[in-house]
Amino acid sequence: MSLCPAALPTVMRRLVSALLPATLLALAPLPAAAQGQSPEDDLPVAEIQAFAEVFERIKRGYVEEVEDAELLRNAMRGMLSELDPHSTYLDSEEFESLRESTQGEFGGVGIEVGMEDGQLTVITPIDDTPASRAGLQSRDKILRIDDTPTDRLSLQEAVNLMRGDPGTEIRLTILRQGESAPLEVTLTREVIRTESVKSELLEASYGYLRVSQFQTRTGAQVGSAIRRLERDGPLKGLVLDLRNNPGGVLQAAVDVADAFLDEGLIVYTEGRLPDSAMRFSAGRETAAAEVPLVILINGGSASAAEIVAGALQDQRRGVVMGTESFGKGSVQQIMPLGNGEGLKLTTALYFTPDGRSIQAQGIEPDVEVIRGRLEVAEGSGLNVREADLEGHLRSPDEQRTRSEMSERLREDYQLGEALNLLKALNVLSQRRGG
């Protein structure tokens, strides 16, 4: 229903009259023609009267007295929670919590959660936090928070329970896919300062860029990280790791994609509000327009991470590797209510440059590589090198031992395959150039 200013007083009168107890109703609804509205714009008076009756019965008959404000807030939460898993009512504390998460600092265990089939579910643990160190995984179901079952909690209520003062403990009961019995994990809360970008050299001239979530300054941090990686010379290849990245700020996703594209569409959105139809394109100033690129994704890559992967895939800018992403293709708008509270409302769907909607579909990798660990066969002759020997002489410019990096690539099979693919792309490029 759309409201025009001229109709607002009439609509409000009808709403107020409908909310009065049925025995006090004296005003009949005005005809649609008298209001200057079409029949489709009419408020559903019968349903509003039913709402008012439920409200009155709870006030009079519930076993404990309930404040009017609490009932109305619960009604607003219910209206939003039934729309989709990401629309929600935000009280003042929740509004502040959302602000903290987008700016990158809060107290808790470092876990992104959502609702899946009515169950509180891990989207991803944030890097280097109590949750990631404890081994929590994407799609773990959280059954209890301390002694509180989660099946009747809203998403925000669950988040509020998990956040708390640094140094305090929290106990999570989780059910993991493939496991028959729940697992109990005790975590100690910390101040979570989320540095969203990390970078390092995997080998000489081959860079690694990890984006753990999309915050306000993530785009600028990616540009700075690329410049650091190129200090010793041009890169032959770069791995952009978006695994277990739950998303975040839309503009930050655009900025990250823009770091690798010098032209073309990145993403566009469509919705019912006039300002929800937006298009974002790449600019000419680009941090790494020519560097061979592999983008790693998995089931924990969601929302803004899928925007970046989808844009780079559609623009043929890099090879997407890993497993299918989460499939959150909706845009939420934060709407302040003027009293320190607000709404987080899904207002649009986003689409990749080729017009693909990712909602409930996800990004399919170009090369599927499941999570695993590389084991070197005994007797292969690849087990021991000079760099593996204790006390070996280090080269002057060696920042870490080869064995440390080799062990990491063995532990992270997807990353190792990404590096191998970058090397293969360089070999093919050199042969074509010759």
Provide CB contacts within 8 A for 221, sequence distance 6+: 195, 196, 197
Catalytic residue from among 241, 255, 258, 314: 314
What DSSP character marks residue 388? Answer: G
Which 3 state secondary structure label does DSSP give 321? strand
Q: With 0-12 CB in 10 A as exposed, 13-18 as middle and 19+ as buried, what is 353?
A: buried
Catalytic residue from among 328, 330, 344, 412: 328
The sign one gets for the Cα dihedral 310, 311, 312, 313 is positive
**DSSP element (H, E) containing 49:** helix 45-61
Query: Which of 153, 157, 172, 49 lies closest to 110, judged by CA?
Result: 172
Q: How far apart are CA 296 and CA 212, in angstroms?
A: 12
Residue type, 318: G
Does the annotation count 314 as an active-site position?
A: yes
Catalytic residue from among 17, 303, 325, 330: 303
Q: How far apart are CA 85 and CA 336, in angstroms?
A: 19
**DSSP element (H, E) containing 392:** none
- Contact between 90 and 155 under an 8 Å Cβ cutoff? The reply is no
Q: From its phi and psi, is residue 30 left (phi > 0), alpha (psi between -120 and 50) or beta?
A: beta
CA distances from 376 to 44, 185, 298 (A): 68, 32, 25
- Contact between 71 and 52 under an 8 Å Cβ cutoff? The reply is no
**DSSP element (H, E) containing 311:** helix 304-314
- Catalytic residue positions, numbered: 303, 314, 328
